[in-house]
Structure 1
Amino acid sequence: MYPNPVTSGLINLSFINSPESAAVYELHAMNGTLIRSRIVTITENATLQIPVEDLTAGSYILSLKTNQGLGARKIVVR
């Protein structure tokens, strides 16, 4: 995941040697409020771009759920 902190309006998630699969990403405010949820298709060696230009500066939690598991990271938008 890059860049973090985000200044360009986009978060990039790179998938290296990942099998093709459906995934769900969710973006939450630090208070737990769901801001955005999307179903996406991940392909091998692809980069998923998530737009965040509409977010105010601050910290957020980005989670990604695939058939391989769930991961979450704190992101900072400037």
Structure 2
Amino acid sequence: MISSSMKDVRSRVATALAASNNPRLRFIQVELDEEHENTVCLSGRVSSFYQKQLAQELVRSIDGDVDVRNDLRVDNFT
């Protein structure tokens, strides 16, 4: 079972990404890993490795004790 504190972290991450100044980060999906406690999963597409890393570091800035599974795909699209 996913704890309420992890649900809160997921919500805070999703809100921060949606409010990002970087438009590509606004479309990232944020889920909680059912199998691995304290793990936030990021998925979707970004246009650079920088954006991929930026999204991951945003999660860590919200809660440094959370693990991040960064499944973001880097595509060169405009």
**TM-score, normalized by the shorter chain, greater than 0.5:** no
Bin of the TM-score, shorter chain as denominator length:
0.3 to 0.5
Provide the TM-score with structure 2 as the length reference: 0.33
Provide the TM-score with structure 1 as the length reference: 0.33
- Higher-helix-fraction structure: 2
